[in-house]
Amino acid sequence: MQKTLLIGAVCLVAGMLIGFFGANSLNRDYSAANHPAMGDAATQTAGAGVPSQPGGMMPDIAELLEKADREPENFATQMKTGDLYAQIGRFDRAIEFYKRGIALNPDDVRANLVIANAYFDSGQWDLAASHYEKVLAETPDDLNARTDLGSTFVERQQPDYERALQEFSTVLEKEPKHEPSLYYLGVTYHRKGDTEKANETLEKLIAANPASELVGRLRQNIAAK
């Protein structure tokens, strides 16, 4: 039974490994574009150990999946397997392996960041926020993580717009042209019903980068009822 499931998982990964961008990919894209030598931790290591040559892909994936089951105490293997599933948008499976890794090393910053991203991309806002807070406790200047934390307060069923504004303001004090924070700041004002401030924020986003794709997205949000 386990072998059948493993083969199915290998086929799924091999067939779908085409690059997946989740809901908060705008933050990851922004980080990579503005810090090409660095990127963020999730982007740098996602898919580590996955070969680029199609001929070698399935055996290496099968080996990684088998190793994850064979070595449940291997932190790096659990995290790599989670990365693999996150790449194809299987956040339920990614979270399963990330949780195994975090159980072994609960204070690891990157582990908390990638599971926060997986929870975010699967719409589990409370859980995403709790892990972003752990990341920020260790790296308070991680502006992308702080923006994503703020975004969780906008997107949840019972929004906390004031908390979201607080997080975005903290980011923008340090980096006034941080595009994802400007975008979500405008969205927050719009959802609060403050059209004037939403439009002011749109102008700031345009001034920061008139070519940003977020300009059009924010315009659409403001235009929507």
CATH number at residue 81: 1.25.40.10
Domain presence at residue 165? no
On the question of pLDDT at 138 being above 70, the answer is: yes
Domain presence at residue 185? no
Mean predicted confidence (pLDDT) in 79-106: 94
Name the average pLDDT for the chain: 82
Domain presence at residue 217? no
Q: What percent of the chain shows pLDDT beyond 90?
A: 65
Share in percent of the chain as helix, strand, coil (round to 5): 75, 0, 25
- Position 61 scores a pLDDT of 80
Helix/strand/coil for 139:
coil
On the question of pLDDT at 172 being above 80, the answer is: yes
- Position 59 scores a pLDDT of 53
- Range with the poorest average pLDDT among 46-55, 71-80, 101-110: 46-55
Domain presence at residue 189? no
- For residue 202, the surrounding DSSP H or E stretch is helix 195-208
On the question of pLDDT at 167 being above 50, the answer is: yes
**How many whole angstroms separate alpha carbon 74 and alpha carbon 72?**
6
Mean predicted confidence (pLDDT) in 170-182: 98
The residue segments making up the domain with residue 8 are 2-158
Domain presence at residue 170? no
Yes or no: say if 94 and 74 are a contact pair by the CB < 8 Å rule: no
Return the ∠ at Cα 90 (arms to 3 and 112), rounded to 5°.
110
- Position 60 scores a pLDDT of 80
Domain presence at residue 172? no
- Position 102 scores a pLDDT of 97
**How many whole angstroms separate alpha carbon 72 and alpha carbon 139?**
28
Domain presence at residue 50? yes
- Position 69 scores a pLDDT of 85
- Position 149 scores a pLDDT of 98
pTM, 2 dp: 0.78
Domain presence at residue 213? no
Mean predicted confidence (pLDDT) in 133-161: 97
Mean predicted confidence (pLDDT) in 115-128: 97
Hey, what are 103's tokens?
């159980």
**How many whole angstroms separate alpha carbon 152 and alpha carbon 148?**
6
Residue recorded with tokens 């991309």 = 121
On the question of pLDDT at 7 being above 90, the answer is: no
Mean predicted confidence (pLDDT) in 132-144: 97
- Position 19 scores a pLDDT of 34
- For residue 35, the surrounding DSSP H or E stretch is none
Q: What percent of the chain shows pLDDT beyond 70?
A: 73
Distances (CA, A) of 90 to 9, 18, 118, 121, 163: 11, 13, 9, 10, 30
On the question of pLDDT at 122 being above 90, the answer is: yes
Higher-confidence residue of 40 and 152: namely 152
Helix/strand/coil for 188:
helix
Over residues 53-86, the pLDDT tens digits come to: 344 445 588 888 888 888 889 999 999 999 999 9
Number of domains in the chain: 1
